[in-house]
Structure formats: structure tokens, C-alpha cells
Structure 1
């Protein structure tokens, strides 16, 4: 019998332990386990204290377990946001109660209940997979559920959902997760209708819509997140293809800097004299402590130490094109290159990066486009 090659075994192990979800890490899964452990237990404890234990009403309904998987394992999913959890579970349970009361055949009732739940959640923009289980619970829950009638969707289903979401909000805040997941829409820093500079090239939003129509698939990701992911992929691909160009290759080495005690008037004069937009602020030993620019110096007086902003920094051996997201955000005009001791060794401005990027464009392509 022929044994598998070591490479095949290694690939099999990788596929077995590789994360199913994009971006999932072991740390995130452990955090999800801790969140589910604490919040599901607390939800049951709180409901028990409010409603009292007994056969008349369950402390917590089974769909809350599925909601917890979404809430803690994939908190960025559109299906795991507060309204889908609360509205999806409650509305679906209500659809299940309606189906159970109108249809006496349980086989037909469970199908109708789940079908109505999907339709209701879709129209109310609170699609939540555990809602299907909430609808089934309402149909097949037996005497304890039937005794509560139309109140069952609100107690315990709605109550469980509200408490779980409240605990989830607190847990994600403590664990420093972005929840509820909000994608900040890109707007111009100049307060005009123009899109930001880094959104004026490459694909457009209508291209994303067209691609989704071609694929004819529904993905568990917010459309804005999908656009943000694709733009980051573009940047990473550009960085990878130009990985040999380092920050040390394009940085200015004769850096104009000021000390924390430099006055606003002197700093402003230096900006004008050297025709720059940003001045690093360093201690007498050369250690970087902040930066100032025209934005900070406008209508100010006194020493610059009270006006310093957190500096954008990088290292000399970092890929130069990795600075594209920073220097095209509309507010950062220069990145300070530092060593491990935060000593200033250089500075890269938007002009430096633009000049470097222009040199990467193939000359034959430029010539062809100009002729065309």
C-alpha cells in the first residue's frame, strides 16, 4: 500500500485547520468563545431573575445559541447587527405563532412559519438565520409556548434578544471590536461633492453592482465592506508588485524639524520658507514626539507643543507604496521615517510618493496611450 507524500499530508492538515471565514484567527475564535460563554449565561441568569424559574416559561430559547454564534464569531456580518438579532428573532417568532394558530397540521405549519419568517425579515430588513429556528420554536414549542399565545414573541424571545444584544455591545466594547459594525462612508476632506482622491481611480460602485449581478450570488458581507475590501486588495497587489522599492529609496534625508518649544510664528515661517506642509516635532535628542502643519498652526499662538498632532510614521525598509492609503486620505501630507528608537531619519511627502509612482509606470504604455 502506497503511503501519501509528506506534502499531501501537510496540505490536508492545512485544509483541516484553515479558517472557514476570511480573516478568522485563533485569537478571534477564542474571544468569540469567551463572549458566548459569558453573555449566554448572563442572559439566562437575568431572564431567570426577571421571570422566575418554572415550567411555565423557558429561561432562554434555543435560537439564542445561534444568535450568539453570529454575534460573537462574525460581529461584522450584516446578519449579526442589533436590529437583525432583535427584530429577526421577534418577528420570526410572531410568524411562527400565526402559522401555529391558523394551520393545525404541524408539517404544513412548520414550513409556512419559516417561509413567512423569511419574507417578514426580508421586508423589515432584519434577516437573521436564527429567526427560522425562532419560528419553528413557536410552532413546535408545545404547551409552554401555546399558553403565552401572542406574547411569546416578546417574552421570552424578544426579551432574550434585547438582553443578549446589550451584553454583546458591552463585551465588544471591552474587547475593542467595532460593533455595531459601521462602515464610514468616504467623503471629501475639502467638504465638496467630489469623492476622495483615492476613490477617483480604479473600480466604481456601479462596477461592484455589475459584478454581483453577473455572479448571481448572495454574500454575507455588507456592500460597503465589499468595496473597502476590494480597494485594499488593489493596494496590496500594488505593494507586492513593487516590493523592491523601499521608503529609504525615496525619502528626504535633510528633514526640516522643530522642537516643542518652537513658537508658532517660527514654525509657520519654516513651512513657507521650505515650501512644505508638515514639520516633525522632535526632542533635543532627536526623538520624534509629534508633528505640526498649517492646519494646527492656523489662528494659534505660543509654543507648538500644545498644538502637536500624532505623527504618521514608517520605517526605512517598509515598502514605499504601502504609504498610498495614508498619503491619499486627504489629511496626511507627509510620513516621518524613524528607526526603532523613534529617531528621525527621513520624511516622505505626497510629492515624493507621486514621483516614485510615476517612475513605475511603463514608458511604452504611456507612449501608446498618448498616441491613441
Structure 2
């Protein structure tokens, strides 16, 4: 959190909101974005309506919309439908109240009330919408002249223009906007099971239950809040793991094969040594693939040999019968979904291996040459004992 330039008495400090830490550069980016957004909105509106128009070029609530769009772009209240739906619906309500209620004070109060209800119903809650409702009640002759057209120009036009500027500005400066929610990845096995990292700790349903009990609106989507909290969990895990790196836990003496090795010899190596994975490297030691027992099964065909035989038996029977024994490893090897470096934290590797559904990860140098292998067993031992210990062979 940014430190204040002055100290407040303890009795007053509790009233100061505790914002999340934001860098000075991000603060400046948001301010510059608002400057560009308001300026371009006003200029384009003047060009569209003409310099002599009696219609206001900017409605005051656009300033509040600019704060949300450029300073808090990830919140649900700042998304495109919130901007357009919230401002336009509030303007329509404000105009209606102005037409039917003579007392401006009562009209403005009722307009804000109805605007909030409408924005909740339409799922476009946008705080500046309340200001739009008051503005349309008190705007003066322009509203009387334009009637409901005032809700579309200038309110709707202003909202659309500043929204377009925000989309362009955020994407040009490397930020994601609109803040679409990422789709939940499908299970690797085609089942309804959640991803491995989602099966422990809290779930999205847990968070929604708590939010319902709190019964308050927060400007963070539950899905985004889950992402933030899980990232915090991973950071805590990284801290508790003592900064262990892949280089601390990896196996260093790895048995490999060439991509031109026959699959018969490769299977003999794996079977005789009890290996569950066999890295494939070229003449320079660069990892080009990973060979697993299932690669042999898929290559030779399931059901080879007697049905009563298990995988190993079917493979031996198929190879003994001369099926594909002269084929080379490069024809059946699998890809390398992820490779780590010696200085990759094991906390990162736990998450990546879980998401990729792999049990072994090659560790390579900057040139892609194999220097080690991290297995799930290595990770479990390291996390359980809190220290790294490389093994001679990959189990």
C-alpha cells in the first residue's frame, strides 16, 4: 500500500479506505487514460452533433465513468454493459421522472431509486448511473427539447465513445479490457471433475456462499476473486517451500534414447530399468520428445496378444511377433508439454504439472539441452521433507 505523506490520528485512520497496492506508473497510466478518454469523447461528440448544437457535449457523470473505466477496469461495475446499460437506462428513467413529477427534488430522488432497481434487474449496475438520473432531471431546457432523445445523445453517445477509447487504450498499454471471464477448462478425462488445483482448499461455490451470507455488493467478480485468492495461496506455498528450485530436487543422471532408436530397444530399456518415462534427445542433448508406456500401446494397438495379458504382456507379445519393432522412437514419442529450468521454483512446477496432467518434467538449460528430470515423486519428497535430494534414475 502506498504510504501517505501525512499521519492521521488513530481515531481517523480507520475511515481511510485500504486500497490494494498500485504502482505510481499504474496511477499515472489511469490518469492519462482518463484525460484521453474525456478529451476524445468531447471532441467526437462535438464533431458528430456540430459546433453550434445546444446539446451538452459532455454530461458530468462521464467523469465518474472515466474513473471506473481507466482506474478500476477489471471490476464488474466497469464492464461495457454496465457503462452503456447503466447510463442509458438511468437517463431514460430520469427523463420520465422529469416529465411526470413537477417537484425537481422528488423527481431526482425517485429517479435515483428507480435507476438502482433497474440496473440491478438488468445486471448493469454502474455508480455514475445515479448521477445520470439526477443530471437528466436537472439538465434544463435541453431535456425538454430532446425528450427521450437526450438518453441517446449525449448520454448514450458519450458512454459509447468513452468506452471505445477505454478498449483501445487498455489494449495498447498491455491491459486486458473488457475483462471477460475465462472459460473453465474441460476435464482432461471428459468428466465433470474440477481441475486438480481446484479440488483442494476453497471452491467457487464456497466463495459464492460466503458472499451471499455477507449480502453486500463488491466490485470484484467471484471468479476473479477466486483467481486472486488462489494466486495468494500459491505465493504462500512458494514462501513455505523455502524457495526450493527444480535444480534442488531434480534427478541429474538421466537415461535417454535417440529419436532414431528402435522402439523394441527403447521398450527393453524402459522395462528392464523400471522407468515410467524415457526422454528422447538429439545428438546435441536437446530434448525433442518424451516416451511413455502408453506411447507403445497406441503404436502397436490395444488388444495385441491375449486379452488376459496386461499392458506389459501385450507389448511383449506384439513385439515378439515382429509388429513395428523396426519403427523408430521418433514415430511414437510424445511431445514435451512443459519444460523447466534449474531455477524454476517447484511451487510453479506443482501447478504446471497438475494443469498439464504430466508426471515428469524435463529440466533444460538455455539451449534446450537436458540437464535433469523432475518427477512427481521428487516433488512429494521435497515438499514433505522440505529439502531437495536428486535421485540417480527417474522412477
- Pair 1:182-2:180 in alignment: yes
Aligned partner of 2:200 in structure 1 is 201
Alpha-carbon distance in structure 2 between the residues aligned to 1:330 and 1:310: 7
Q: CA deviation at 1:60?
A: 2.2
Cα pair distance change 1:157/1:280, threshold 3 Å = farther
1:179-224 CA distances to partner (integer Å, 9 max, x unpaired)? 1112322431222211111111112333213332444433211011
Q: 1:313 aligns with which of 320, 334, 340?
A: 340
Alpha-carbon distance in structure 2 between the residues aligned to 1:269 and 1:136: 77
Alignment of 1:124-163 (within 5 A): 124-163=122-161
Please state whether the residue corresponding to 2:94 is helix, strand or coil: helix
Aligned partner of 2:170 in structure 1 is 172
Alpha-carbon distance in structure 1 between the residues aligned to 2:127 and 2:278: 51
Answer whether contact 1:278 1:334 (CA < 8 A) is retained: no
Aligned partner of 1:370 in structure 2 is none
Unaligned runs of 5+ in 2: 9-15, 300-327, 387-395
Alpha-carbon distance in structure 2 between the residues aligned to 1:275 and 1:159: 66
Unaligned runs of 5+ in 1: 1-9, 361-372
Answer whether contact 1:89 1:130 (CA < 8 A) is retained: yes
- Pair 1:231-2:230 in alignment: yes
Alpha-carbon distance in structure 2 between the residues aligned to 1:220 and 1:292: 45
Which structure is richer in relative contact order (CA contacts within 8 A, separation 6 or more)?
Answer: 2
Cα pair distance change 1:28/1:282, threshold 3 Å = farther
TM-score by length of 1: 0.77
Q: CA deviation at 1:125?
A: 0.2
Cα pair distance change 1:148/1:125, threshold 3 Å = same
Aligned partner of 1:246 in structure 2 is 245
Aligned partner of 2:392 in structure 1 is none
Q: CA deviation at 1:26?
A: 2.2
Aligned partner of 2:316 in structure 1 is none
Answer whether contact 2:81 2:124 (CA < 8 A) is retained: yes
Q: 1:352 aligns with which of 378, 381, 393?
A: 378
Q: 1:60 aligns with which of 58, 62, 69?
A: 58
Q: CA deviation at 1:63?
A: 1.6
- Pair 1:218-2:217 in alignment: yes
> After the TM superposition, which of the residue ranges 337-346 and 321-330 deviates more from structure 2?
337-346
1:114-147 CA distances to partner (integer Å, 9 max, x unpaired)? 1111111000000011111111110111112321
Alpha-carbon distance in structure 2 between the residues aligned to 1:272 and 1:103: 88
Q: CA deviation at 1:80?
A: 0.7
Answer whether contact 2:33 2:169 (CA < 8 A) is retained: yes
Cα pair distance change 1:176/1:104, threshold 3 Å = same
Answer whether contact 1:257 1:281 (CA < 8 A) is retained: yes
Q: CA deviation at 1:248?
A: 2.4
Q: CA deviation at 1:85?
A: 0.6
Alignment of 1:1-40 (within 5 A): 13=5, 21-40=19-38
Answer whether contact 1:243 1:319 (CA < 8 A) is retained: no
Cα pair distance change 1:157/1:315, threshold 3 Å = farther
Alignment of 1:112-123 (within 5 A): 112-123=110-121
Alpha-carbon distance in structure 2 between the residues aligned to 1:138 and 1:296: 69
Alpha-carbon distance in structure 2 between the residues aligned to 1:161 and 1:63: 10
Answer whether contact 1:89 1:131 (CA < 8 A) is retained: yes
- Pair 1:192-2:218 in alignment: no
Please state whether the residue corresponding to 1:348 is helix, strand or coil: strand
Please state whether the residue corresponding to 1:152 is helix, strand or coil: helix
Alpha-carbon distance in structure 1 between the residues aligned to 2:355 and 2:6: 37
Please state whether the residue corresponding to 1:234 is helix, strand or coil: helix
Answer whether contact 1:257 1:282 (CA < 8 A) is retained: no
* Larger-Rg structure: 2
